[in-house]
Structure 1
């Protein structure tokens, strides 16, 4: 016999093969791809059985995988086989294999699940333990290991505050500590717990109450469970055919969000992060203003110009680069002392651009800027954009979560007048990374702008409503089922609890203002708290240029000390366009463990302790 041959038995790949047959030849049995093949047949040949393409082929017929045409030398088709009879035959074959006959790996076959049990008791190709009663693979041991580590380390159930936020190692040291080598024989599953343990011990505990470093944090049990479920199902969010539940969930969530942000109608799509969501906005705005750009490109057109504040996210300039607009066609609009875009400055900038022969087409407002947490005056900016006929987009990736709070949603007043917005529930709200949505009030525009009409995915003659196939309005083909993660989180947690969490972090963010040695950069608008720490040696001195140079060195040194000790993580940065030297930015999010006033006090006490001698 050749590889995979067996006398009427089932092989590793699920074929039943007889003596003298080549790979894939079977006398009236089922192959790897669901074909039933007879002796002497080529791939796809079967005597009156069903093939890969759902057709019934007779002997001497092949299937052309490229053109899917029958070869001209082989034309005769066999009659269709009665499917109920075929099922009976298959059941009879399974019954004949109950004695566990020998497969090409010199082992027995479990007729219940087709797993291969070698003579030495090991499992191939999968690794797992063997049930001695029926020889089946128990499975799931690795998943149990992961779950045990997550629970033992309390990564989602409330981490011990005495634990380090990070056990910092320099890159070279970390590379030497981790077993990074991938071996041909793999890694023993029985040692997986140590492997997983190494990953956890050397990772930053973003769920720690003392992690204030980024615009995201840990996640709760609901968020993790939803993320695990979508990964286990591992499908693509492009057609109802392969992702029916996730498609209807995304449609529902987008509809609810459109209403939540104050639009009567609209459209949207979940994207891989806020940067891509912002790029979607720029692409659809350009298409709406100049539809011919989709076919002809930007050649021969007036230069299109986008406007954004001096506090906006860097994704706006990256989008301009990727879309071929050029960085020179992104105009930075000044902000006030709170970091909010000035409407009069925007109007003047638009007029100047027009006088230069360029074409304004897009304004990016920010609802919760990255550093200061500033909310641009959306109503006033909408008025300017409506007068000028320019698309208004709101980057609400960070501060958009205020929309779920009746107490704080006023910060987003005027967002209903925008043409589009982006929002990242994986930031303040505590959904798992990544979870980002782009929304527009212009229904159908996403599809018009991005559609490529791939006929192997988006056939219009499907047996269901093809409008449920959302993939053609995406710039991606492969797309994660991220909408489900938000839906699952809110479904289990509820809107009241979500609102309470948002209100709580807003309240805690106001705790810094009256502490000696801590000077606020500006009153918090979102949950960013930006401040200088002035050590005792610098207090009460004249604030000269030299003094500010000394202050600028405090935050980097304190940050280094806190990371090396692992006691706290808070970010720092300068703002050159505001002439502000290095200062701390403490960020509060709703994800993971609930923070308390005691946690805020600890963070400030720790900064004071670490910087007292500076």
Structure 2
């Protein structure tokens, strides 16, 4: 190792630039056993910078190049270059965000970003915090709802509390079940509400379910509405759900981790009408918006509630006799102690692009998704799962030629269930496209193309993706299944 490693830092940017060049493939897939045999992962003995560089390049060679347009596998993609710059600076300064004295500028940045985001979502007097992800934000929401209803839970626990229930749609994120488990409710306390064909929670069934549980003497604590479900990108009827929550006195949380980015555009934000009435909201700028992982925001309507329910008043960290205004020591609102300065990454992006720049990227992303949906509706062999698009999610099947004249009975759909993963395999192994597939309820395996701000995708690239799916689809035979 040369010196203490600082000389190696000068090489890192060059390595990353080379690995993200146009000629670099999306993926060179190897099965786990093969990859383990190829990579030199032993750390027992120190190596020279030259050897370390070789090892790093090898690791990146077999990693997924998420910056490419053809990485459509998850609800995130390439990073915003300004956000990436912010992430590098944040890592270099190695700052933990809990007190003003160790993170003065970064503390003000987080507070400024929270103020701006709360205003964007229509919560003018609220509060918030940056969290490690949407699943943790949901934990914050349940903790806040429980504390608001039963403040004594913080000191006395749940042993003397009535049975509390959480309500969510069948298409919502699985993290609500984990939250129920972690926080002592139990997964059986989660009530699953049916959705319509577009993936939106049934408001009528939600109302009936809450009334039914109240009649049985149970306590409906929280409704978890979704603004942008993982697969269909469905947005629940937030206005109607807000009315129900107000009627029954139930905490309303909106999981807007994916769809919350639509609030950045004046043309799109009407899709989230009613979100301003929520008691809490979660949004992940590291998804659609392209902030570097992780960058997540949790918002709460009631100012002071986060500190009340989460503070532990550690004397060595949050002393009240400091020489500055201790109201700026925001770390006691958090369940974490050490916390990364994630707000800085988002601030870098927003500072560089402004409201107008982010709005333009939002509209472009939605326009590209609409173009993709329209192209699929016109191409032979492609079939949309649903014609309604609320977020930039496009869900569809590709039906190979040999399947098109067959009767579409149960056996036909079972074959389609196997064909979709096989097409995905061929696409991945040929490094043409990484695309997600899934079954949902009665729907057999289908593809989900989800579009994000970065890299900025053009219509020609969308057509290339569909062509790749068609070409690989036509290679599938019955013998492969």
TM-score, length basis structure 2: 0.96
* Inter-partner Cα distance in structure 2 for 1:494 and 1:199: 36
Partner residue of 2:412? 547
Report the Cα offset of residue 472 of structure 1. Answer: 0.6
* Inter-partner Cα distance in structure 2 for 1:247 and 1:405: 27
Specify which of 142, 145, 149 is matched with residue 285 of structure 1: 145
Specify which of 133, 145, 151 is matched with residue 11 of structure 2: 145
Partner residue of 2:479? none
* Inter-partner Cα distance in structure 1 for 2:423 and 2:276: 42
Partner residue of 1:343? 203
Partner residue of 1:468? 328
Determine helix, strand or coil for the equivalent of 2:428: helix
Question: Residue deviations 1:129-152, cap 9 Å, x none?
Answer: xxxxxxxx9x74211111111222
Report the Cα offset of residue 301 of structure 1. Answer: 1.3
Matched, 1:538 2:403: yes
Question: Residue deviations 1:521-556, cap 9 Å, x none?
Answer: 112211111101111111133211111111111111
Residues 334-413 of structure 1 mapped to structure 2, 5 A cutoff: 334-413=194-273
* Inter-partner Cα distance in structure 1 for 2:30 and 2:267: 42
Partner residue of 1:603? 465
Report the Cα offset of residue 497 of structure 1. Answer: 2.0
Determine helix, strand or coil for the equivalent of 1:374: coil
Report the Cα offset of residue 193 of structure 1. Answer: 2.2
Structure exhibiting the larger radius of gyration computed from Cα positions: 1
Larger displacement relative to structure 2 (498-507 or 510-519):
510-519
Partner residue of 1:200? 60
Partner residue of 1:589? 452
Partner residue of 1:580? 443
Determine helix, strand or coil for the equivalent of 2:302: coil
Matched, 1:333 2:193: yes
Partner residue of 1:231? 91
Partner residue of 1:557? 422
* Inter-partner Cα distance in structure 2 for 1:163 and 1:317: 40
The answer to whether the Cα contact below 8 Å between 1:142 and 1:192 also exists between their aligned partners in 2 is no
Determine helix, strand or coil for the equivalent of 2:270: helix
Report the Cα offset of residue 428 of structure 1. Answer: 0.3
Question: Residue deviations 1:311-362, cap 9 Å, x none?
Answer: 0000111001000001111000111111001111111000111122210010
The answer to whether the Cα contact below 8 Å between 1:363 and 1:393 also exists between their aligned partners in 2 is yes
The answer to whether the Cα contact below 8 Å between 1:575 and 1:581 also exists between their aligned partners in 2 is yes
Partner residue of 2:40? 179
Residues 294-313 of structure 1 mapped to structure 2, 5 A cutoff: 294-313=154-173
* Inter-partner Cα distance in structure 1 for 2:155 and 2:315: 19
Partner residue of 1:168? 29
Partner residue of 1:495? 355
Q: Which segments of 5 or more consecutive residues in structure 1 lack a partner in the other structure?
A: 1-125, 129-136
Partner residue of 1:35? none
Determine helix, strand or coil for the equivalent of 2:36: helix
Specify which of 383, 399, 421 is matched with residue 519 of structure 1: 383
Which structure carries more relative contact order (alpha carbon 8 Å, separation 6+)? 2
Question: Residue deviations 1:588-607, cap 9 Å, x none?
Answer: 1112x221111110111001
* Inter-partner Cα distance in structure 1 for 2:166 and 2:282: 16
Matched, 1:529 2:374: no
* Inter-partner Cα distance in structure 1 for 2:29 and 2:18: 21
The answer to whether the Cα contact below 8 Å between 1:145 and 1:192 also exists between their aligned partners in 2 is no
Residues 45-124 of structure 1 mapped to structure 2, 5 A cutoff: none
* Inter-partner Cα distance in structure 1 for 2:181 and 2:447: 31
* Inter-partner Cα distance in structure 1 for 2:474 and 2:65: 26
Report the Cα offset of residue 191 of structure 1. Answer: 2.4
Partner residue of 1:260? 120
Larger displacement relative to structure 2 (441-450 or 541-550):
541-550
* Inter-partner Cα distance in structure 2 for 1:545 and 1:288: 50
Determine helix, strand or coil for the equivalent of 2:140: helix
Partner residue of 1:506? 366
Determine helix, strand or coil for the equivalent of 1:364: strand
Q: Which segments of 5 or more consecutive residues in structure 2 lack a partner in the other structure?
A: 477-481
Question: Residue deviations 1:238-270, cap 9 Å, x none?
Answer: 000111111110011111111110012010000
Q: CA RMSD in A?
A: 1.2
Report the Cα offset of residue 515 of structure 1. Answer: 1.8
Question: Residue deviations 1:5-43, cap 9 Å, x none?
Answer: xxxxxxxxxxxxxxxxxxxxxxxxxxxxxxxxxxxxxxx
Report the Cα offset of residue 183 of structure 1. Answer: 2.3
TM-score, length basis structure 1: 0.75
Q: Which structure shows the bigger proportion of residues in helix conformation?
A: 2
Determine helix, strand or coil for the equivalent of 1:204: coil
* Inter-partner Cα distance in structure 2 for 1:490 and 1:513: 36
